[in-house]
Amino acid sequence: MRTLHQSILAVLLTLLAASCNNSGGGAGPAVMATGGGTTTSSGGGSCAAATCMALSHQCGTWPDGCGGTLDCGSCPGSQACSEGTCSCSATCAGLGKQCGSWPDGCGGTLDCGSCAGGTTCGSDGTCCSPGTCAPTQCGVQPDGCGGTVNCGSCPAGMVCNAAGACVCQTCAQLGKQCGPWPDGCGGTLDCGSCPTGQACDAAGACACAPLTCVSLGKQCGPWWDGCGGTLDCGSCPTGQVCDVTGACACAPKTCAEYGATCGPLPDGCGNTLLCGTCLAGQACVGGSCCTPQTCAQLGKSCGTWSDGCGGTVTCGPQTCAQLGKQCGTSPDGCGGTVDCGSCSGGMTCNASGACCFPQTGGGCCVPTPCPGNCGPHQDGCGNTVDCGTCANGEVCDAYGICTPAICENRCGELQFCGFGPVFCSGCPAGTTTCSPGNNCWTGPAPTCAGLGKTCGVWSDPGWGLLDCGPCPAGTQCSTDEDCGGGLIYADQFFASGCLPCVGGACTPAPSQTQCVWTVLYDPCLINYAYGACNGSGLCPP
């Protein structure tokens, strides 16, 4: 209908133009207007040209009614010009789309349909056949049509690389530092060896290689394994002990095990134990000191009798010594008499049969006998008496008793390398105790405070070693003994190695360091248990 109206209008405008031209009476130039306005014809007349607005046109080219042409422009975007009006006439073909939904340029949506079987609609609106996964591909991969395809995971032992391909594994991917390992492709990876002192464990990691009892050459006892742990190298058979080297050795018996206080006894390892000597007048019987009984104690005056110490005593006529007589004549206990002689050296015989020194003003002084069997003795009457001398290997101690040379002026049990302990005589009356240094000590025992010490091991003359406890780290020192942290046995200090003196300062060994008892004085005292340092300078049992 719009086209018919436009055609009629064009005819009318043409006739009008012709009429105007003829009324001018002649021919004249014709002027064409594209925007509308006045047009001068060749005849000299004028014509009112149409405008796009007057024609209600939005687009396209049209006659202006005066022999010219109107240009009403073009449509925006994807709109099309139809009969002078812009309309949404976009098509899928015009947009180059085969599928999917697309904007029509007018605020609406153009449905371009779907793709045929086996193809998919790509991101550009064209139908595309998506790619498939190759046998060696893995992970999520582009499908060639703007989408993705999941190619899954790799076979056991293989890994998916950044390019999406299944490849053989490396030592790094397996997390292995050492040893041979399957690469996942039927081959074997060599992941190398470990540094010295380390070993490849079951997980393929280099770890500390613990020492073994065999590599240490140890038969027994606990030992540090070099990796912060402790090796148990077992115990020794009955009759043997574990020495400081970790070897099973003969376990020597002690006097205490025998229950002996005197005499030589075998130690069971080819050596001899010296378990001490008995006091004068005593006999060593089965490792014990025994005092033989006298006839008087037995209540016998005649005959031969057992003395209670494995020997016999003859109780025939009593002698002067048995009667306790030094002089004069006395009954012998068997019906006779015994002549005990006369006194010498200016002494006389008193009524008790004792030699005495007559005193000025009356009375007679009986000298005291020798307390032991050796040395000089003041007899109480102003005289010095020689009580005798000791045999070779013995000395006369401060108490007038012959004792082994090693016990001179000592008391208690002394430890000696090679032949076991020696029991020395006790302390005389007036002393309170036998000190750790095997000295007779009178008065209260010394203290660390009295010595002005708060830690370490110190010696008090006459007493022996005093343990004042372990010293704090950094305490000034000159020997391990100054730091303490060890043990004292038989008045000897044994350093544990847990609190050594290093560079003039007490320095605790790291925790779990093996204790090593360093015997400073006597290398034969070996029966000590091993342990591990606690990091504070001590070696707990």
Q: Which string of DSSP letters, residue by residue, matches 168-218? A: E--HHHHT--SSEEE-SSS-EEE---PPTTEEE-TTS-EEE----HHHHT-
**Lowest mean per-residue pLDDT among 85-99, 440-454, 507-521:** 507-521
Which SS3 state, helix, strand or coil, does residue 364 take? strand
Report the distance separating Cα 322 and Cα 372, nearest Å: 18
**Average pLDDT over all residues of the chain:** 78
Q: What pLDDT score was predicted for residue 135?
A: 74
Q: What are the φ and ψ backbone dihedral angles of 435, each rounded to 5 degrees?
A: -70, 165
The amino acid occupying position 212 is T
Q: What pLDDT score was predicted for residue 266?
A: 86
The number of beta carbons lying within 10 Å of the beta carbon of residue 201 is 15
Q: What are the pLDDT digits (tens) for 162-219?
A: 777 888 888 888 888 899 988 777 788 888 988 887 888 888 888 888 888 998 889 8
Q: Domain residue spans in the chain?
A: 211-250, 261-280+375-438, 446-541
Report the distance separating Cα 148 and Cα 142, nearest Å: 4
- 131 has pLDDT over 50: yes
| Rounded mean pLDDT, 120-130 | 79
Confidence category of residue 16, pLDDT binned at 50, 70, 90: very low
What are the start-end ranges of the E strands in 382-535? 384-386, 394-396, 402-404, 412-414, 422-424, 433-434, 440-441, 457-460, 464-467, 487-489, 492-495, 501-502, 505-506, 518-519
**Both structure tokens of 122:** 């790509």
Provide the residue count of the chain. 541
For 246-264, give one letter per residue: b (16+ CB within 10 A) or e.
bebbebbbbbeebebbbbe
CA angle 435, 436, 440 (to 5 degrees): 20
The share of the chain scoring above pLDDT 90, in percent, equals 8
Q: Under a CB-based contact definition with an 8 Å cutoff, are residues 90 and 82 in contact?
A: no
| Rounded mean pLDDT, 275-297 | 84
Q: Under a CB-based contact definition with an 8 Å cutoff, are residues 127 and 99 in contact?
A: yes
Which helix (H) or strand (E) element contains residue 42?
none
Give how far the C-alpha of residue 275 lies from the chain's centroid of Cα atoms, to the nearest Å: 46
Q: Under a CB-based contact definition with an 8 Å cutoff, are residues 524 and 242 in contact?
A: no
Confidence category of residue 340, pLDDT binned at 50, 70, 90: very high
Q: What are the pLDDT digits (tens) for 139-173?
A: 888 877 777 888 888 877 677 877 778 888 888 88
Which SS3 state, helix, strand or coil, does residue 103 take? strand
The closest of 232, 251, 233, 256 to 241, measured between CA atoms, is 251
